[in-house]
Homo-oligomer: A and B are copies of this chain.
Amino acid sequence: MAFDPASLRYDVAGLIPAIAQDHATGEVLMMAWMNAEAVARTLETGRVTYWSRSRQAFWVKGETSGHVQTLVDLRVDCDRDCLLVRVTQEGPACHTNRRSCFYTAVREGEEVELLRPMD
């Protein structure tokens, strides 16, 4: 079946969550949001493109930082209201310069930092 970005289920703001996963390691890197046009651009260009809710603008990941995400595989969940983008990640995915945004664990009630910023 041909894929149509309009067939996804977006929230009231017209957005769908997109989970970025390192294709090689399986590491979950970040979660951000796309609108239908960002989904289309991601597929067309192979450069993962989100919608920045704070800036209200398209956000081609790595455009300014150089930490680009190259699309390897785009996946849709059963309810069509969440995306999984499997990517090749250049450098850190997180704006804190860490490889993944999920660098804090909760263990025995305490927050533990798992990753340090990359050099």
Binding site for B on A (CB under 8 A): 1-3, 17, 19, 21, 25-28, 30-31, 43, 73-79, 82, 84, 94-96, 98, 101-107, 109-111, 114
With both beta carbons as reference points, the residue of chain B lying nearest to A17 in the complex is identified as B17
Q: How many copies does the complex hold?
A: 2
Residue among A3, A43, A94 having the largest count of chain B Cβ atoms under 10 Å: A3
Expressed in whole angstroms, the Cα–Cα distance for A2 and B104 within the complex equals 12
Q: Is the CB of A78 within 8 A of B96?
A: yes
Expressed in whole angstroms, the Cα–Cα distance for A43 and B106 within the complex equals 9
Expressed in whole angstroms, the Cα–Cα distance for A74 and B79 within the complex equals 24
Q: Which residues of B contact A94 (CB under 8 A)?
A: 78
